[in-house]
Structure 1
Amino acid sequence: MSIYSLRGLNVRFCRQAYILAHVRAGVVPMPGRTKLRLSLSITPLRSSHNNLYQMTGGSKCGVKNAELLQAKDCNISKRKNVTSDKKPCDGEGAGGSGSKKGAPSGGSIMGDDEATRKTRMLLALLAALGLGGLLLWLLTRRKQKVADSTECGTTAAIASTVPATSAELPKHVPYLLIGGGTAGFSAFRAIKSNDPRAKVLMITNESRKPYMRPPLSKELWYSAEKGEVTKDYRFKQWTGAERSLFFEPEEFFVDPTKLMETVNGGIAVAQGFTVKKIDPAKHIVTLADGYEITYDECLIATGCAPKSLDVFAQATPGVKEKVMVYRSPDDFERLKRYADEKKSITIVGNGFTGSELACSLANYAKDKKVKIYQIFPESGNMSKVLPTYLSNWTTAKVESMGVCVMPETSIKNAQRDEAALKLVLNNGKSLLTDVVVVCVGCEPNTSIALTSGLEVDKSLGGFVVNAELEARRNLFVAGDASCFYDPLLGRRRVEHHDHSVVSGRLAGENMVGKKKAYNHQSMFWSDLGPEVGYEGIGLVDASLRTVGVFALPTSNPEPRTDNLTETAVMEGGGSGSTVTVNPETPDVKCDPKDADEYGRGVIFYMKDDKIVGILLWNLFNRIGLARTIINQNKKYDDLNEVAKLFEIHA
């Protein structure tokens, strides 16, 4: 039985007792005596979607229910005032309206003194019952808040460290990696392949061994649909191959306390520790607790942290408990619980993570009757990457999958009751939701730059590095946190898996003395459900001029590739390759604005009449060719001829 049912029963019992007391006692108002009044507030039973705090005080004459706010099939309804029938202020029971004029005052069964005494006793009983009900409600409310905080709170329990204390870590290591993500682990593999007995210590503030992030918003949801998540987060790729989210199993890693004693070396992961300072001159890393570790070679691979919104950052603790970001396996499990419990989920953001997650959740929850909303201030999904016509088409595609997409919408305010959030939107409408997932990008983790004397790019963020990915001598940076110079496209900072793999590998090779320059054109990929996938390389920016060529829809979709392997990200198209156009290739001229369906195609992103970026729409196994075309850095007279090379009609 819910707390609202208990409250309702308690109120009804009190009222019935009061009425019965009047009937049996026959209380007759005495001359000059104030009428007995009992004002009771009856709280109606309501579902979790309608549990909102009343923002205004209650009236003495009648009780107003909370304003019900709903969002049905993407038609967000305006606020509706739903009020219960007014109750009379003087809610007297039977016989409580007084005797008729002229009625004898001695008409009651009991005398006035006895009736007054019993009435007072009854009022005392009612007060005790009311107080008991209030205490029960407060206790239950507290337990519910504690449960909510445990389920989706921002104040999670502090994770234990491995090893138990920093004093158990080595005082000196040949190779030190700061950060436990893709770039750091890729660097370890490069170090170990060049130095078979290398002893590598990785320091991470996370509680897990290194894992991949891309499947968290894509493949993992499609595998989870058929069962519970396994301990190692196994999932099936689009190719059908099965793998774990983790790069290596637990037994692959060395105990941090025994790293320096290991004859054949290996990698040890110090979990739950944070670096607060690096001394590049003395080769000393200082942890948050003051413990110092010296190194020969060091890599900063701290990645980036998800951003939030001011409206939530400044919200009350109750609101923050229902707001989350999406970055880790813990976030995946938390969001999966909400979907399994048939909670409504609102995603804020139209970028890679927000759009992928909206489609993945819609597919996962299609039989669970879970409502998925997506809110963003831009005009369409992926609007910063895709040209306008394709962004609009993609938005309609996402909607067709069951997502309630609300473009050109932002959140002005957020309020909370025990079960739901009320989001006040900029269009004057409001939305009730159980949880909000903020996916508005991330910012590089460069907090140690100030204490370590390292340069951070003012416009792009990230540690500034040279061509060899060095920030200082023997101190390298790779992955999302690095800001490097691209000879073709200028200074850049890239937040993609491919860049983390390749930059981490090159930094690892340079840590063993290879002295290689980073000139890789990194790629990215994204999936919007089972039917839409695309890959991009170079400067894929919707603000640039674009030329798109699309094929007619086909019943045989292009088979997808596995972009999570290290070999996949390096395949094809080195800077020395050349591309020549074959004039005998079938014509592919097409105006993308006239296309009814964007099945497969290629989009060229132009700057100074040169191709600086290429996006392959539902085309796979061609990223090497795209990389070669960009690296040629030349002007083409007819881009339709270049599009023929990608065999979009094959």
Structure 2
Amino acid sequence: MRPPLSKELWFSDDSSVPETLRFKQWNGKERSIFFQPPSFYVSPQDLPFVENGGVAVLTSRKVLHMDVRGNKVRLDNGSEITYDKCLIATGGTPRNLPALERAGEEVQKQTTLFRKIEDFKSLEKISRNVQSIVIIGGGFLGSELACALGRRARNTELEVIQIFPEKGNMGKILPEYLSNWTTEKVRKEGVNVMPNTVVKSAKYQDKKVILKLKDGQTIKTDHVVAAVGLEPSVELAKSARMELDSDLGGFRVNAELQARSNIWVAGDAACFYDLKLGRRRVEHHDHAVVSGRLAGENMTGAAKPYWHQSMFWSDLGPDVGYEAIGIVDSSLPTVGVFAKGTAKDTPRAVTQESGTGIRSESETEEVATSVNVSAGAASSAHPPQEGEDYGKGVIFYLRDKVIVGILLWNIFNRMPIARKVIKDGEEHDDLNEIAKLFNIHED
């Protein structure tokens, strides 16, 4: 499970976390990062002889070629595996900045493209032994890591700098006023945030990475983290003769996540047809879980279309978090309705109450059957005022007057309602009324 790599793992007081990979959730319960314990899996050699089947994982091997007519794949050691049905879940590879790639081997050695457990272990160790770290990127990963490292830097001499080209943190997702507020929140976590900043070139000199910025400034640092997006891993497309999406990237699949007669794709690498929102590619934990489950069911003949709107969530430390669903893009028109927050409206409080830490797990099966606005619900909802503290609220993202995305700011366990609003796909005259569905005025 990748999410804790940029969230809870950093907030533990236990120095053995990089070895044990066990972490305390915001609710205090301990958990392992691994999706299943090793005992769950069968060894690949034993799999043909296990009476009721099972799941085997073959590690340290790469698939080089797919023979779709012969229903087999060839591995990098020359061996072959035959299949009846095949699921491709190759995920993606973190992008690097061209300016860093051009800078040579020494700069590359001092750069982390944060994606894997090894990257967490390495950066955790580096953060204890250097004076300065620069994080490039203002999206989910960059902002979460900046908050985590900023919190750690409070008790050390570490300087944490975050730079990105947008006007504020999460600028591609949050409306501008909320992005500005979030940027101030990240600064309060001890991070030197530099928005509207682009790296022009980099070099290694006197044991430091020197970043030259577009405005002529330079930054000297010991280590750089590039959190600038993901490139879907689609190397198998050529031999499998599978169609790629030229706009969104990834393997093009239908609403049932099928690419060819015996091949399905799930997770980051799938560019799928969403029945409500059109063609999409999604890079979030809940989508990986949900699309994997759906593809698995369809491989056994279920023939189910992708209708479940996967959610994503981001925590900027234990006190501010949001959950979102659908097309959440700050270039769309948005309407925000906010209310006063209380001590209960934080990621830490909600996980203490619900007993779950990976929030998407608690709601993937829930479905809201109807969304009726009750008469007499509190009507003090309002658009945010300048300088206000955004305690909790709902932001609606609109396309042709229809809600296509919903972001819940410090409001939790309401995703089934958001899912139903998007699934209904209706025009709404008064979004204040829809905001009441989320009980944002409960104390």
TM-score normalised to the size of structure 1?
Answer: 0.65
Q: CA deviation at 1:556?
A: 4.1
1:474-514 alpha-carbon deviations (Å, 9 max, x no partner): 21111111111112111000001111101100111122222
Aligned with residue 568 of structure 1, among 362, 378, 383 = 362
- Structure 2 residue matching 1:446: 3-state secondary structure: coil
Residue type of the alignment partner of 1:387: P
Q: CA deviation at 1:369?
A: 1.9
Whichever residue aligns with residue 568 of structure 1, its letter is S
User: Is the 8 Å Cα contact of residues 137 and 227 (structure 2) preserved in structure 1?
Assistant: yes
> C-alpha offsets along residues 146-169 of structure 1, whole Å, 9 cap, x if unaligned?
xxxxxxxxxxxxxxxxxxxxxxxx
Match of 1:591 in 2: 383
Report the residue type matching 1:265 in the other structure: G
Letter in 1 for 2:390: Y
Q: Secondary structure at the match of 2:288?
A: helix
* Displacement of 1:256: 2.0
Once the two structures are TM-superposed, the CA of residue 528 in structure 1 deviates from its matched residue by 0.7
Q: Which residue of 2 aligns with 1:614?
A: 406
CA distance in 1, matches of 2:344, 2:277: 36
In 2, Cα distance between equivalents of 1:353 and 1:244: 20
Name the counterpart of 1:517. Answer: 305
Contact 2:66 2:240 in 1 (8 A): yes
Map of 1:464 onto structure 2: 252
Secondary structure of 2:56's aligned partner: strand
Deviations 1:339-387 (A, max 9, x none): 1114311000000100011001111232012100001111110001000
Partner of 1:213: 2
**Structure-2 residue corresponding to 1:355:** 143
C-alpha distance in structure 1 between counterparts of 2:200 and 2:255, whole Å: 44
CA contact (8 A) 2:275 2:306 kept: no
Alignment check: 8 A CA contact 1:280 1:473 kept: no
**Aligned-partner Cα distance in 1 for 2:112–2:234:** 22
Distance across 2 between alignment mates of 1:554 and 1:296: 54
**1:365 paired residue among 150, 153, 169:** 153
CA distance in 1, matches of 2:87, 2:323: 29
CA contact (8 A) 1:525 1:533 kept: yes
Report the structure, 1 or 2, having the larger helix content: 1
2:213 to 420, 425, 435: 425
Q: Counterpart of 1:615 in 2: which secondary structure? A: strand
Partners of 2:404 and 2:387 lie apart in 1 by 24
Q: What secondary structure is seen at the aligned counterpart in 2 of 1:601? A: strand
On the 8 A contact 2:113/2:227 being kept in 1, the answer is yes
Using the alignment, how far apart are the partners of 2:377 and 2:392 within structure 1?
17
The 5-angstrom pairing of residues 511-590 of structure 1 reads 511-558=299-346, 559-561=349-351, 562=356, 564=358, 567-573=361-367, 577-590=369-382
Residue 80 of structure 1 corresponds to none
Aligned 8 A contact 1:606 1:613 in 2: yes
- Match for 2:163: what amino acid? I
Question: Given that residues 563 and 569 in structure 1 are in contact (C-alpha distance below 8 angstroms), is that contact kept between their aligned partners in structure 2?
Answer: no
Alignment CA distance shift 1:578-1:595 (3 Å):
farther
Q: Residues 588 and 643 of structure 1 are in contact (CA less than 8 Å); yes or no, is this contact kept in structure 2? A: no
- Structure 1's 553 and 578: CA in aligned 2 closer, same or farther, altered over 3 A? closer
CA contact (8 A) 1:572 1:625 kept: no
CA distance, structure 2, for counterparts of residue 317 and residue 545 of structure 1:
44
Unaligned runs of 5+ in 2: none
Distance in structure 2 (CA, Å) of the matches to 1:579 and 1:257? 51
Query: Secondary structure of 2:287's partner?
Result: helix
Determine which of 476, 501, 505 is the counterpart of 2:289. 501
**Equivalent residue number for residue 241 of structure 1:** 29
Q: Distance in 2 between matches of 1:542 and 1:550?
A: 17
Aligned length: 436
Note the alpha carbon deviations across 1:86-131, whole angstroms, 9 max, x for none. Answer: xxxxxxxxxxxxxxxxxxxxxxxxxxxxxxxxxxxxxxxxxxxxxx
Match 1:633 to one of 410, 425, 430: 425
Q: Does the aligned pair in 2 maintain the 1:421–1:434 contact within 8 Å?
A: yes
Report deviation, 1:581. Answer: 1.3
Counterpart CA distance in 2 for 1:455 and 1:253 is 32
Distance 2:266 2:9 in 1: 26
Q: Which residue of 2 aligns with 1:491?
A: 279
1:264 positional shift: 3.6
1:603 corresponds to: 395
| Offset at residue 418 of structure 1 (A) | 5.0
Matched, 1:254 2:35: no
Structure 2: how far apart are the matches of 1:557 and 1:608? 32
Shift of 1:443: 1.2
Q: Secondary structure at the match of 2:219?
A: strand
CA distance in 2 between partners of 1:361 and 1:314 (Å): 27
1:479–1:503 CA contact under 8 A, matched in 2? yes
Which has more strand, going by share of residues? 2
Which protein has the larger Cα radius of gyration, Structure 1 or Structure 2?
1
Change in 2 beyond 3 A, CA 1:567/1:348: closer
Alignment of 1:404-415 (within 5 A): 404-415=192-203
CA distance in 2, matches of 1:429, 1:213: 34
The C-alpha deviation readout for 1:54-99, integer Å capped at 9, x for no partner, is xxxxxxxxxxxxxxxxxxxxxxxxxxxxxxxxxxxxxxxxxxxxxx
- Tell me which residue corresponds to 1:135: none
Q: CA deviation at 1:280?
A: 1.8
SS at 1:271's partner residue? coil
Change beyond 3 A, Cα 1:396–1:446: same
Taking the aligned partners of 1:350 and 1:230, their CA distance within structure 2 comes to 25
Which is worse superposed, 594-603 or 395-404? 594-603
CA contact 1:498–1:569 (8 Å) conserved in 2? no
Mapping of residues 119-518 of structure 1, within 5 Å: 212-223=1-12, 225-229=13-17, 231-417=19-205, 419-518=207-306
Q: Deviations over 1:433-479 (max 9, x none)?
A: 00000000101100110121000011001111112211111211111
Once residues 398 and 180 of structure 2 are traced to their aligned partners in structure 1, the CA distance between those partners, rounded to angstroms, is 21
The range that moved more, 252-261 or 580-589, is: 252-261
Give distance in 2, aligned partners of 1:595 and 1:487: 39
For 1:350 and 1:292, how far apart are their aligned partners in 2?
Answer: 43
DSSP 3-state at the match of 1:637: coil
Q: Which runs of no fewer than 5 residues in structure 1 stay unpaired?
A: 1-211
Distance 2:76 2:377 in 1: 62
Task: Name the TM-score, length of structure 2 as normaliser.
Answer: 0.95
- The CA RMSD measured in Å over matched residues stands at 1.6
Separation (CA, whole Å) in 1 of partners of 2:277 and 2:134: 36
**Closer, same or farther: CA 595–477 of 1 in aligned 2, 3 Å:** same
Cα deviation digits, residues 309-358 of structure 1 (max 9, x gap): 11111111111111110001111111111111143110000001000110
Residue-by-residue CA offset, 1:523-550 (whole Å, 9 max, x unaligned):
0000011221000001111011000011
Mapped to 2, the partners of 1:573 and 1:261 lie a distance apart of: 39
Q: Equivalents in 1 of 2:242, 2:177: separation in Å?
A: 43
Indicate how the Cα distance of structure 1 residues 369 and 539 shifts in structure 2: closer, same or farther if over 3 A, else same.
Answer: same
Residue 111 of structure 1 corresponds to none
Task: Output the amino acid matched with 2:240.
Answer: S
Deviation at 1:563, TM superposition (A): 5.8
CA distance in 2, matches of 1:309, 1:315: 10
**Deviation (angstroms), 1:230:** 5.5
Higher relative contact order (CA 8 A, sep 6+): 2
Change (3 A) 1:492 1:563: farther
